[in-house]
Structure 1
Amino acid sequence: METTRGLVQSAGRAVLDMIEREWEPLSPGELEQRLDQTVEEILEADLIAKVQAQPPAIHGTQAGEPMGLPAETTTTTTTTPAATQDEEDHLAEEETEEDTVDTSYAVKHITELLQNSKSHYNRSRLTGRARVSLSHTVLLSLTLLSKRVSYRSVSGRFRLEKGNIHRIYFSFCERVNLLQDELIRWPRDGEAVDLLCPLYALLGKSGPEEAQGAPQILGVLGHTRIPIRLPIGKQSVESTAPEVKRMRREAHPDSWLNLELVCDRRGRFRHCHVSKGSEKGRAGLLRDRLGRPPGMMTMPPGSCLVARAGYPLTEHILTPHVSCVGPREGLYNKTLEAYFSILDQAVASLKARFQRLRYLDMGNYERARAVVLTACILHNVFLDLGPLLEGEVDVEEVGLVEEEGDVDEEGLKRREAITDLLYKGLESTCV
């Protein structure tokens, strides 16, 4: 009986995935054209009515800003009568503190980025998609990314077919992904020098004798897990626990994506790599590219990245001691730990701003990867518009204790030298 029920559930999910990918609600050309025209007229009339209904002074916008967006979209997310009570309760639970960035300004800025992009994006219109302006595409997509709302509620809010909402959203993600090299880029030359932070300075000593040989920290390397729906055929038939909790307990490798990041001291992502949970090897691509000639990921002289245990210990990546931790090693580990909080806060901000990343209800890896990459790119965009959004650090994820990763000879020598340097510096302060 349980097996039959599981097969039915798997078949149902397969049909839903097929509908998401292939649904063409408006295939006849004439009907498609008429519907597009009707949608445009409804949107225009609705926006004009809302703008006319606004009082002279509107909270959350500045004088002189274009008023082409519905006023309520600047701070809240609404549901439609078609939404179920469960959906409304779920949305109420997901509300967070008001963002520090005005949404209307963010929509305008992101729209200009996409319009001015040098990428040759295919602008051809998909069959069945209603014509909506680029600014409304941005607003619609930000709504889906920032809140855990259903396609149905967004469909009612924007007065578009559910299938069109799905296509507009993923075409937006594909378009933003083309900006990755422009907005998530490795620091170069003078920019890199401005980002360096002396490791030794955390001990409160800055004398030339003590500081000699201390490395400069360029950034923090780490990762986080993004839960996703298990692909068809790998669903747990007998388990009825929510997927997120089940992922933590059973640790199925295909129930999450690994998001590898390098973040500078200001919280900006400088490197981003999304892979399947089943893929092994930490920072393999990054390790091969660090310190290479211009055009790759060059490191300023005497600089390095810091990472938690589990990452490779190399000339350019420092990791903590995981065995035989005495006073020397403990001081070194404590010094590195102060830097890890920078990445922890950046990841917490990412997940607080883009709540869709708490759980991606999709079993398609490529589409899930596109959504995660879109959120990382937009994280840097929002960082240019205001400070990091406060988020709650996942203590359970951060507290995971891992074994030491690969160790090469140069990395081991450098770690031992820095450990001795830190300890000698501490001894000199106690004399």
Structure 2
Amino acid sequence: MDVSEHVISAGRAVLDMVEREWQPLSSGELDQRLDQAVDEILEADLMAKLQTQPPPTSAVFVQLLQSQARVGTHVVHTNTTASSVPEEETAESQEGLETGDSAVVKYITELLQSSKSRARLAGRARLSLSHTILLSLTLLTERVSYRSVSRRFRLEKGNIHRIFFSFCERINMLEEKLIRWPVGKEAVEALFQFYNPETKKEDEEQSVPQVLGVLGHTQIPLRLPIGKHDVESTAPEVKRMKKEAHPDSWVNLELVCDQKGRFLHCRVSKGSDMDRGSALRDKLKQNPELMPSGSCLVARAGYPLTAQILTPYTTTHGTREEMYNKMLEEHFQILDQAIAKLRARFQRLRYLDIGNYDRARAVVLTTCVLHNVFLDMGHVVLGEVEKEEATTQETEGEVDEEGARRRDTISDLLFKNFNSESV
């Protein structure tokens, strides 16, 4: 790297730091502060009056929040499709969406207030927790810039930056509470069938496992850290990243989801981290009580094959292996759909314009925690499975003898059952 490239990188670092940590207030922003102070006084007065009256409906509550924040209508889409709501939507259906928005704000507010950390969310200007949640959901669910959100919420851009990442940090603290590995009775209730064989009951009990979850991963595109850009390249950022495949231009997201698509395990790592499930494998071996008796996880090729984690055959030699692989592929679609829903709801995951890994990790983990929150509330969106998520062209991961024997036993039973049904 020559002197000019060093200068450019240093300049980017300084600009990034200035934008994050210091933002001078213009006359317009000072006016915004004054307006916001008046809003807070009016809001406090309004809330005092409401305490002496019957509680408002959730739709009215959302309208109050939106009028106090002086923002346009912002709806977190909770319908069962990924398509946008048409402009000619009826007032009745719009009211339903506002009710859902209110429920989301209220639910997340209660989660944050009940968390161990009660520190005030960061931000130069005071902002109510409800407004903070609406602002942060806007940044997560829409492909909008800080500048656009600044105009919408009438806050300076630098302040929004700090408020958003402070919100992510607080949500991250809920990871253990909301992304939990089921144990005991909860784990047994989460099990689902590997397949439904027409075998004798004693054979079924001895050989056919039940599935606790599906293990897999996806990659989130990330802006290259300062100093690792090709300053002479004119190709668009995302296309150049995919072509060059720089390891630090991606964030790895390893997940385990249950049959309903709820995340039971989440691990975020740098793109250069090539570990593929080995940490989880070791944890399961050291803590066998985490897996109910006779249960397993299923994962695509590339993950370790153990007695607890079953993977496909990378080389098939006949119907037996092919049937087994086909059965596993049906389970992999559960994780593919969960990832598609995650991306469809949180549009910011399409490309994280963040050059800092720790902050990128915080954003990704926030979306995973909120994914479970939305599922718990019954809010579902559908997303299109990307081809990259469904790929099976992987080499065999680490194989232990017990895992290989168990895989062969299950594939033999599958083949045996198939032949008995054919007779």
Cα deviation code 1:318-342 (max 9, x no counterpart): 0000013421100000000000000
Is 1:153 matched up with 2:153?
Answer: no
Shift of 1:115: 0.8
Which residue number in structure 2 is paired with residue 410 of structure 1? 402
Q: In the alignment, residue 64 of structure 2 is paired with which amino acid?
A: G
Q: Are 1:47 and 1:68, in contact at CA under 8 Å, matched by a contact in 2? A: no
Q: Which amino acid in the other structure matches residue 317 of structure 1?
A: I
Distance 2:16 2:346 in 1: 23
Partners of 2:108 and 2:277 lie apart in 1 by 30
Distance 2:369 2:141 in 1: 14
Counterpart in the other structure of 2:241: 247
What CA RMSD, in Å, does the superposition of the two structures yield over aligned residues? 3.0
Q: From the superposition, tell whether residues 73 and 8 of structure 1 become closer, same or farther in structure 2 (CA, over 3 Å).
A: farther
Which one of the candidate residues 194, 197, 209 is aligned to 2:192? 197
The two structures have a TM-score, normalised by structure 1, of 0.83
- Contact 2:76–2:101 (CA under 8 A) maintained in structure 1: no
CA-to-partner distance for each residue in 1:389-428, whole Å, 9 max, x for gaps?
1001111342251101111111111111111111111111
- Pick from 58, 64, 71: which aligns with 1:68? 64
TM-aligned CA deviation for residue 73 of structure 1:
3.3
The percentage of aligned residue pairs carrying the same residue is 59
**Which residue is 2:105 aligned to?**
107
Q: What's the secondary structure of 1:236's corresponding residue?
A: coil
| Alignment CA distance shift 1:36-1:282 (3 Å) | same
Pair 1:115–1:396, CA change in 2 (3 A): same
Q: Give CA-to-partner distance per residue, 1:98-124, whole Å, 9 cap, x none.
A: 49782222111111110112x22433x
1:244 Cα shift?
2.2
Matched, 1:97 2:97: no
Unpaired runs of 5+ in structure 2?
A: 47-56, 86-95
Contact 1:260-1:272 within 8 A present in 2 as well: yes
Per-residue deviation at 1:9? 4.8
Contact 1:47 1:69 in 2 (8 A): no
Deviation at 1:166, TM superposition (A): 0.4
The separation in 2 between residues aligned to 1:163 and 1:15, in whole angstroms, is 15
Quickly say closer, same or farther: Cα 1:66–1:356, change in 2 above 3 A: closer
C-alpha displacement of 1:206: 6.2
Deviates more, 1:345-354 or 1:128-137: 128-137
TM-aligned CA distance change 1:175 to 1:428, over 3 Å: same
Equivalent runs, 1:135-284 vs 2, <5 Å: 135-201=130-196, 205=198, 207-209=200-202, 211-212=204-205, 213-284=207-278
Deviation at 1:241, TM superposition (A): 2.2
What is residue 307 of structure 2 aligned with on the other side? 315
Q: Is the 8 A contact 1:74 1:104 kept in 2?
A: no
Alignment of 1:361-380 (within 5 A): 361-380=353-372
Distance in 2 between residues matched to 1:63 and 1:420, nearest whole Å:
57
Aligned in 2, Cα 1:33/1:291: closer, same or farther, shift over 3 Å?
farther
Distance 1:281 1:396 in 2: 19
Letter paired with 1:10: S
SS in 2 for 1:280: coil
Deviates more, 1:206-215 or 1:145-154: 206-215
* Residue aligned with 2:65, SS: coil
Report how many residues are paired.
Answer: 391
Report the Cα distance in structure 2 between the residues aligned to 1:156 and 1:417, rounded to whole angstroms.
62
Query: Partner residue of 2:382?
Result: 390
Structure-2-length-normalised TM-score:
0.84
